[in-house]
Amino acid sequence: MGEGETKTIRPSEIDVVYTWVDDMFPGYAETLEQFATTRHDTNPNRTRDNLEMLRYSLRSLERHVPFVRRVHLLTCRPQVPEWLNTDHPDITVMHHDEIMAPEILPTFNSFAIISHLAKLPCVSEHFLYCEDDMLFLSKAHLSDFVQDDGRLRVFAKNRDAPVHAKTRPGDSPWNLSLANANAALDRAFGPRRRKFLAHGPRLIERRSFEEMCNRFGHEIAATRASRFRGGDNVPPEYLYPHYLLETEEAVLASDAETRRVAGYASIDNFLPWTWLQLARLDRLRPVTATLNDNFNDRPNPRVVAHVRNRLNRWFPEPSRFERLDRPPT
């Protein structure tokens, strides 16, 4: 935006986009094993659906986000949640092959998938991107995500994100990708320290998102070509907010605003720890909360049951997106 220029974002024109996958869907595990080469490739924390988090996220969306126009669900073919009411006019299911090039499919790389979000047909110019483990615990307002002048709010942590000088070849693909993103931003805008971003929904503008993908075309192309997260990738969910900060199309939220909007809990196998985190979310009720799967290979049944009970207590009523003949398992 130019100096003094503002943009109007109408609440009635905001869609929500979810990405989702279920690794228990018939054939998925076999396809994954066919292409996987490292332990990172088969990490179940990113693909497990044992809590049916998408179902509860949609319930929370219906209760707490009144400004949503439509919902778009992006997943791999032929997956569709069995409980989802796909006939409802307010939801559209899209598969990767409808917006992604055939030569890069199948993909198991969330970075590659997210880089295509602005290519969804019929999605609103501004849309809220949610991973399926993100909930809305309190009433959300568009002003939680965007200022009156149209600049988006960026919610960051009080920790610097990795840079190449402090990474090692054996680091996780996530940390290496953050370092790659920071290197790309340094080349474009000059070196500076940048913060980790808080987990939570991202408000995205299609125009500026595609502008970012073109500006960092080499990095985005390498990311899209990777079936799994790789050492030469960049995470668009990190690169985009920092790109907006650099181009002055976004502002950094205060620590107090971040605490109010972006809650987080790590769902671990140690029940007292998970109980404590969920109880804290229950008490604070931030606008959003991410329940990050950290079960690894063997989820603790007692923890799974506890989280399920909490989700049902928070959101007992089915949303309009559910088939009534498919109650939670």
Summarised one tens digit per residue, pLDDT across range 190-234 is: 999 999 999 999 999 999 999 999 999 999 999 999 999 998 999
Helices 206-215, 217-224: inter-axial angle, 10-degree rounding: 90
Answer yes or no: is pLDDT of 1 > 70. Answer: no
Residue-level pLDDT at 32: 95
Candidates 27, 74, 77; CA nearest to 54 is 74
pLDDT at 11 over 90: no
Q: How far apart are CA 252 and CA 156, in angstroms?
A: 7
What's the pLDDT band for 329 if we cut at 50, 70, 90?
Answer: confident
Spatial separation of the C-alpha atoms in residues 319 and 315, rounded to whole Å: 9
Checking 104-107 for CB contacts under 8 A at 24+ apart, the result is 104/224, 104/225, 104/227, 106/31, 106/35, 106/76, 106/227, 107/76, 107/226, 107/227
The separation between the first and the last C-alpha atoms of the chain, rounded to the nearest angstrom, is: 48
Q: Which two tokens stand for residue 204?
A: 């995205």
Mean pLDDT, rounded, of the chain? 95
Question: Residue 186 above 90 pLDDT?
Answer: yes
Per-residue pLDDT reduced to its tens digit, 30-71: 999 999 999 889 999 889 999 999 999 999 999 999 999 999
Contacts of 144 (CB under 8 A, 6+ apart): 153, 261, 287
Alpha carbon distance 316, 310 (integer Å): 10
Asked if residues 318 and 56 have their Cβ atoms less than 8 Å apart, the reply is no
Is it the case that residue 158 has pLDDT exceeding 60? yes
In which element (H, E) is residue 129 found?
strand 126-131
Question: What's the CA gap between 134 and 286, in Å, rounded?
Answer: 12
Which carries the bigger pLDDT value, residue 9 or residue 121?
121
- Amino acid found at 221: A
In this predicted model, what pLDDT tens digit does every residue of 123-148 receive, in sequence order?
Answer: 999 999 999 999 999 999 999 999 99
Decide: residue 102, CB within 10 A, 0-12 exposed, 13-18 middle, 19+ buried: exposed
Q: Specify whether domain 11-314 bears CATH 3.90.550.10.
A: yes
What's the pTM?
A: 0.95
**Close Cβ partners of 167 (under 8 Å, ≥ 6 residues apart):** 175, 176, 179
Measured distance CA(101)–CA(309) in Å, rounded: 41
Neighbours of 217 (CB within 10 A): 10
Q: Which two tokens stand for residue 104?
A: 């890069």
Residue 217 in tokens: 């075309």
Cβ atoms of 174 and 137 closer than 8 Å: no
Q: Domain spans of the chain?
A: 11-314
Please report, for residues 43, 152, 154, 201, 262, the alpha-carbon distance to residue 255 in angstroms, rounded to integers and kept in the order given. 32, 16, 11, 17, 10
CB 207 within 8 A of CB 7: no
Which structure tokens are listed for 293?
A: 């799967």
